[in-house]
Structure 1
């Protein structure tokens, strides 16, 4: 039998889009015959994944998982919402979020993690599911938050199943205070984050490029008033405070009560439990955010079909 080399496995993967373990098995079954291995994978339905890989996958699920002082949120995409309601797809998304708890928070390490109950990695399991379910899928992104003392809380908006939905939020609270009270506060702030869409925890964390852009826009707007530069500088700083109230979590008005800033709410709970509370970070994933979806013209598709063969 021909030697099954790494380069041969790689070539078969590139030809078919199938997972590494499936390619190894195909080459073993066909004694190293590359074309025979392609046919073997096609017969098993595993080579079909490559044909589906170019299709836009903007639906799917956001999944969260938490365990004591660690939490993760992942986005797994599919082509249709129908597949997102598939039990196997939901189980996969949940399992991946759990696996991410042990990782380093990068998509690369998560892709390489062993998927339980198989000889495949997570990345290879995605390919296997593409072939099995019949839609393009993609493990798009992952975020991991960990604290030393305290909790990582989560919230899923309009959950389709426990910890699965279209918007998922994680927040890490560093504190030595009562865990149950911290979890309650964390979930409420996570709900706020889902609704208010902050971009940073503190003013100091605001992206400098975004801040410079905002300052330049505000300065140009102020100059249109014809006022002196020293007045313009004060106008810009005043408007920047409004900007911070829009994008900085601790400066936002808490959506739960509609009155207090988040900072004041956190300070009040810290006083209640007798221990400081620090928000170390948050992640907010919205399904399909930033993916350019294909816009189909149904009427044009029907017309094109009607003209086939004419």
Structure 2
């Protein structure tokens, strides 16, 4: 039987981030074979993942991936058990890798994503290994992908990964994406989405049931005034307009300059770059929201 030295245990620990005693046990079982010991630890990781699978995962992080040319991007959320792990660089790096894999492979759902390749192994195997290394249950909860045909994307991660925003823009000239005016605008709009939680980019995309619900409330409020029905209708519609200005991205006041809306900001940038820049759609993921 090979002699297991402290240096070997230290090397295996550095390779896997596993506890010292587990590294020593794996090396003994593998008769000193480092590669075999890594495999043993990974197999033990499978057992550890199964044992931890019942624990709650109400914390987590959101990360973004944007291609170098900003023509495609993705958000991914991975849940964990504690906020301490949610801020661990190894964990946040893993979430970022998941976002990149999602963008490049375009899986149909989380199950399909788990089967995708990540640096030579499946995302599922990488997740299981991360569970073993960090010692908490984790799961990939959701992702969002944006690949505009004519345009670009931008992202903003808020509060250290608690909130992630991914915004899709449309324009006519490919060179617009590389202009400083557009880059600044795109960053600002992604930040706006993260900070204000709009419902949709344009009012036509607000779900009909949401509009109907708001209108019913505003009409009931107006009825309390005792004014003629025609005036009540105007009061209700006026309040609906305020609702749209508060929750439709293009109609919101720009948080860094309340003198203009996001749509007016887009028009300003369009003049600067000589193109027709539009905010088309967005995704906003809040860590822990899916679990709750």
TM-score by length of 1: 0.74
1:289 aligns with 289
* 2:176 counterpart of 1:178: yes
Q: Say which SS state the counterpart of residue 244 (structure 2) adopts.
A: helix
Once the two structures are superposed, the pairs formed by residues 62-101 of structure 1 within 5 Å of their partners are: 62-67=62-67, 68=69, 69-101=71-103
Q: Say which SS state the counterpart of residue 48 (structure 1) adopts.
A: helix
Q: Pairwise CA RMSD of aligned residues?
A: 2.0
TM-score by length of 2: 0.78
- Distance in 1 (CA, whole Å) between partners of 2:45 and 2:138 is 16
Q: Say which SS state the counterpart of residue 172 (structure 1) adopts.
A: strand
Structure 1: give runs of 5+ residues left out of the alignment.
Answer: 1-39, 160-164, 293-310
Query: CA contact under 8 A between 2:141 and 2:290: conserved in structure 1?
Result: no
- Distance in 2 (CA, whole Å) between partners of 1:174 and 1:241 is 25
* Residues 95-104 or 171-180, more deviating: 171-180
Query: CA contact under 8 A between 1:173 and 1:182: conserved in structure 2?
Result: no
- Distance in 2 (CA, whole Å) between partners of 1:234 and 1:65 is 45
Shift of 1:224: 1.5
Per-residue Cα deviation, 1:30-49 (whole angstroms, up to 9, x for no partner): xxxxxxxxxx9998242122
Per-residue Cα deviation, 1:174-201 (whole angstroms, up to 9, x for no partner): 1125223322211011111111111101
**Bigger helix share:** 2
Once the two structures are superposed, the pairs formed by residues 111-126 of structure 1 within 5 Å of their partners are: 111-118=114-121, 121-126=122-127
Query: CA contact under 8 A between 1:78 and 1:138: conserved in structure 2?
Result: yes
* 2:130 counterpart of 1:134: no
- Distance in 2 (CA, whole Å) between partners of 1:45 and 1:97 is 23
- Distance in 2 (CA, whole Å) between partners of 1:244 and 1:271 is 26
1:231 aligns with 231
2:199 aligns with 199
- Count of aligned pairs between the two proteins: 246
1:306 aligns with none
Shift of 1:282: 0.9
Q: 1:234 to 1:265 in 2, by over 3 A?
A: same
Once the two structures are superposed, the pairs formed by residues 1-310 of structure 1 within 5 Å of their partners are: 44-67=44-67, 68=69, 69-104=71-106, 106-118=109-121, 121-159=122-160, 165-175=161-171, 176=173, 178-179=176-177, 180=179, 181-292=181-292
Per-residue Cα deviation, 1:235-257 (whole angstroms, up to 9, x for no partner): 11111000001110011000011
Per-residue Cα deviation, 1:49-104 (whole angstroms, up to 9, x for no partner): 22322221122211101012101011111101222233332221121111111133
- Distance in 2 (CA, whole Å) between partners of 1:149 and 1:41 is 47
Structure 2: give runs of 5+ residues left out of the alignment.
Answer: 1-39
Shift of 1:107: 2.6
